[in-house]
Amino acid sequence: MNEKTLFKSAVLSLIIVLVAVVSYEIYLRGQGIPADYDDNSPLWANTRAKACDDADKTIVFIGSSRIKFDLDIPTWNALTRVIPVQLAMVGSCPRPALEDLANDPTFKGKLVIDVTERLFFTNAPPNQETPNKNIKYFHERTPAQRASFEISKVLESQLSFLDQGNLSLNARLDALELESRPGVFMMPIFPMYFDRTTYERQSYMTATFVADTQQQNKVKAIWAFFGKGAKMAPPPKQSEYDAIFKSVVLNVNKIKARGGTVAFVRTPSSGPYYQEESMGFPRDKFWDRLLKETNCAGFYFKDYPAIANFECPEFSHLKRPDAVIFTKHFFEYLSQQKGFTYLQSNKPQTN
């Protein structure tokens, strides 16, 4: 085979690949699947690096998935020039992130901690896995890994098919949801349209999910599955809860001692899910105690009529229009609290 033939073969192969990729991308966009960022360790680490920027220009959020859905970043940015640094992690306990910030002498800023009781007040290893992995990655990432992220960032912003969490081969195989069998346990799979992620690490439900009660019921069933598993586990002893409170107070005080400020937020849930949370974690014994022992401000959604009765499509997270409303009310409250009034003084200029 001569060079001319090899060249033609290479060009033909390239054309076939490009046609296949473009066709697949067009198909995905036609299915209402937008470009999405993988919410992985590189993205989290890139965001974590911003936590120690000028304390008067940033505010850090940690927690579980609710604050990722419920804090609408475009709405926040329209209210203040203070940049939100979203470090919450899906399905995870936020206390490792709190400890990481508390032990970082360069963090002297403002911190908001989202409290989802089942995840906040737990020492279960699965709920610590992602935080520990992300924190380790952040502190050990190499120049090569940083450069790789910058390249991936550009590509992921434009191409839907690069969604590793939903469209990789392994993800598509998992989506078949084969039944568990002896020795092999299959985790339930969330619908692809339930959770999309922006570069700022905000999660949001797609319009497809909000309009599809079948998908919503599937997610509700997943919450019921996890809730059943939690009930089967032996309940924590009071001494375990006491140790958790003690560790939170210790870390909050470390941040305060450096001039930082901390506040807590209880984001909305609804229906039977909220009822179970209220029964399992009575407000007076957990939320009220948390605020009292840390001596921090706290925003509990049920205290505000305009947002107290939001109906979450799958009981646990807000759809984006409701997240806009929640963000406005939360901002109004937070910007009036001691240590957070700088949010108001940094309002964007209007013509």
In a shared domain, residues 167 and 290: yes
How high is the pLDDT of residue 188?
78
Look at strands 196-197 and 203-204 and give their pairing.
Answer: antiparallel
In a shared domain, residues 286 and 257: yes
How high is the pLDDT of residue 278?
94
How high is the pLDDT of residue 233?
66
In a shared domain, residues 21 and 47: no
For residue 22, give its domain range.
1-30
The answer to whether residue 35 is domain-embedded is: no
In a shared domain, residues 24 and 45: no
| Number of structural domains found in the chain | 2
* Tokens representing residue 21 in the block: 């990729």
The answer to whether residue 36 is domain-embedded is: no
State the pTM of this model.
0.90
Report which secondary-structure segment, H or E, holds 261: strand 261-266
DSSP string, 284-322: TTTHHHHHHHHT-EEEEGGG-HHHHT---TTSSS--HHH
In a shared domain, residues 78 and 16: no
In a shared domain, residues 173 and 245: yes
Eight-class DSSP state of 33: -
In sequence order, what are the residues at sequence separation of 6 or more whose Cβ sits closer than 8 angstroms to the Cβ of residue 253? 294
Q: Give me the helices (H) in the chain, please.
A: 3-30, 41-48, 65-70, 73-79, 95-102, 117-120, 125-140, 143-156, 164-167, 169-174, 207-211, 213-232, 238-257, 271-280, 287-294, 305-308, 320-334, 342-345
In a shared domain, residues 14 and 88: no
In a shared domain, residues 86 and 24: no
How high is the pLDDT of residue 25?
65
In a shared domain, residues 267 and 334: yes
In a shared domain, residues 201 and 319: yes
The answer to whether residue 351 is domain-embedded is: no
pLDDT tens string, the chain, 351 residues long: the values are 567 777 777 777 888 877 877 776 677 677 777 778 889 999 999 999 999 888 889 999 999 999 999 999 999 999 999 999 999 999 999 999 999 999 999 999 999 999 999 999 999 999 999 999 999 999 999 999 998 888 887 777 776 666 777 766 666 666 666 666 665 556 778 898 899 999 999 999 999 999 999 999 999 999 988 877 666 667 788 999 999 999 999 999 999 999 999 999 999 999 999 999 999 999 999 999 999 999 999 999 999 999 999 999 999 999 999 999 999 999 999 999 999 999 998 888 765
In a shared domain, residues 66 and 8: no
